[in-house]
């Protein structure tokens, strides 16, 4: 029995209608920007395997560091104990984060990083004895699939089965212009505790992009109105937008950061939530009920911390920044060459991310039927894409070569021409 058949017999895959799902492609190894299946076929990973892989698959440097660590300490409880890698990683991350960030809280993925951030913000006000329970979030937002993360995500096909169980959130539109009307109306309710957002790029909603100037204005507005701001940098962090963090494009800095995905370079799961000293201080009390009662079995796992430290080593090398700049430049040239194509409704770029929105008979939707056509077209050409309905995007590992990028661009051009 093939590996794929064994998978189908026993495994339930995410975001997949298993009734009519095609047999999954069995990947047996990776190298750089490519993945190889059990038959030896090579695929260009144009989406960094769900946006996590930044340095390339099976990165030798990260692998060596992880191999060393696993022989020293694989795990230790993180309540009442600590270890060198967790300490070093916190110190290193704070060097890259804004000066207002003071404390690092570890978890194990993007959704939990968001859960932690939302709970921090709500309990901050509770500990101060201030009744603030409402969260402001963007329409079409996606912050994860746990219940708190779903609650602050836009209501969509991802949440519709659970909408009645999610806590109430005030949703406003993304500010494509410097309009503050909706935010102003939302805070007329003095019960607003926090505002959570994906900075500059809304990922799962279709790589929707909005200007840094508008976000900065919103953060400043929240600061003046005593509202905690939470930046979900799970996808946008670690040079995806061209800077180390997307919020590096603005002067006003959020109170809380949520990190994951590229944190370990895609090597293994890890989440981080950071906060200001002011937020941390609100949890310091002889009253034990003001403790932050949140944790995970694998909090600050030493192997994951080691992978993150190795990933940081690579981010801090000049060739990483050079690769990011090279990808951005190549994207810009490619966009110029196809922007007037009659089947393109919109094409947009933010750093190493480009998104192409196709003209279709129906509105933009994750369930748009053209999604399968796009996916199948590129898989046949050994390029991994994961379209968001009628929107598909390129978000490659930074080690991708110019030749590999050209192969992706060529396939996109051919796809568009064949639509005609």
Asked if 359 and 344 touch (Cβ cutoff 8 Å), the reply is yes
Strand ranges (E), 218-337: 228-232, 256-259, 271-276
Catalytic residue among 217, 243, 253, 261: 261
CA 140-146-149 angle, 5° bins: 40
- Based on the number of CB atoms within 10 Å of its own CB, is 295 exposed (0-12), middle (13-18) or buried (19 or more)? middle
**Which has the closest alpha carbon to 350: 311, 393, 314, 384?**
393
Distance CA 196, CA 391 (A): 24
Catalytic residue among 45, 108, 232, 248: 232
DSSP H or E segment with residue 402:
helix 402-419
Per the document, the length of the chain is 420
Q: Is 261 a catalytic residue?
A: yes
- The DSSP bridge partners found for residue 354 are 349, 394
Q: Is 409 a catalytic residue?
A: no
Asked if 237 and 259 touch (Cβ cutoff 8 Å), the reply is yes
Give how far Cα 170 sits from Cα of 53, 178, 183, 192, Å: 33, 19, 9, 9
Q: Is 22 a catalytic residue?
A: no
Catalytic residue among 43, 106, 142, 409: 142
Radius of gyration of the chain (CA): 22
Give how far Cα 271 sits from Cα of 75, 246, 251, 330, 335, Å: 16, 17, 25, 31, 33
Q: Is 142 a catalytic residue?
A: yes
Distance CA 193, CA 181 (A): 19
Asked if 108 and 263 touch (Cβ cutoff 8 Å), the reply is no
Catalytic residue among 15, 281, 372, 410: 15
Distance CA 332, CA 159 (A): 35
Token digits of residue 119: 């709970």
Q: Which residues are catalytically annotated?
A: 15, 142, 232, 261
């Amino acid at each position: 029995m093939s590996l794929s058949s064994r998978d189908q017999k026993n495994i339930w895959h995410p975001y997949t209608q298993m009734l009519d799902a095609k047999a999954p492609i069995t990947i047996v190894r990776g190298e750089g920007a490519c993945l190889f299946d059990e038959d030896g076929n090579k695929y260009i990973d144009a989406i960094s395997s769900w946006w996590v892989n930044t340095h390339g698959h099976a990165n030798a440097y990260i692998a060596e560091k992880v191999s060393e660590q696993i022989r020293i300490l694989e795990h230790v409880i993180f309540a009442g104990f600590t270890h060198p890698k967790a300490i070093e990683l916190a110190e290193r991350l704070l060097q890259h984060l804004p000066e207002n960030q003071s404390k690092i809280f570890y978890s194990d993925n993007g959704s939990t990083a968001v859960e932690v951030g939302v709970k921090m913000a709500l309990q901050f006000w509770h500990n101060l004895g201030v009744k603030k329970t409402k969260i402001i979030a963007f329409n079409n937002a996606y912050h994860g699939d746990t219940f708190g993360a779903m609650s602050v995500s836009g209501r969509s096909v991802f949440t519709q089965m659970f909408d009645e169980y999610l806590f109430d959130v005030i949703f406003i539109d993304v500010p494509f212009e410097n309009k503050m009307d909706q935010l102003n109306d939302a805070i007329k309710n003095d019960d607003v505790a926090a505002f959570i957002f994906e900075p500059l790029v809304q990922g799962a909603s279709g790589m929707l992009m909005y200007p840094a100037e508008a976000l900065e204005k919103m953060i400043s507005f929240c600061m003046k109105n005593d509202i905690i701001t939470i930046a979900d940098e799970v996808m946008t962090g670690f040079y995806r937008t061209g800077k180390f963090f997307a919020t590096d494009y603005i002067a006003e800095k959020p109170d809380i950061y949520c990190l994951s995905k590229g944190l370990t370079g895609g090597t293994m799961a890890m989440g981080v939530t950071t906060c200001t000293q002011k937020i941390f201080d609100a949890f310091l009390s002889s009253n034990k009920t003001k403790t932050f009662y949140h944790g995970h079995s694998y909090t600050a796992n030493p192997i994951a911390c080691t992978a993150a430290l190795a990933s940081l080593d690579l981010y801090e090398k000049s060739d990483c920044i050079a690769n990011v700049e090279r990808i951005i430049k190549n994207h810009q040239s490619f966009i110029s060459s196809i922007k007037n194509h009659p089947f393109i409704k919109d094409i947009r770029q933010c750093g190493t991310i480009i998104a192409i929105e196709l003209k279709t008979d129906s509105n933009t939707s994750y369930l748009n039927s053209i999604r399968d056509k796009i996916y199948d077209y590129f898989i046949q050409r050994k390029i991994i894409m994961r379209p968001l309905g009628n929107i598909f995007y390129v978000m490659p590992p930074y080690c991708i070569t110019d030749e590999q990028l050209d192969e992706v661009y060529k396939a996109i051009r051919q796809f568009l021409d064949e639509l005609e």
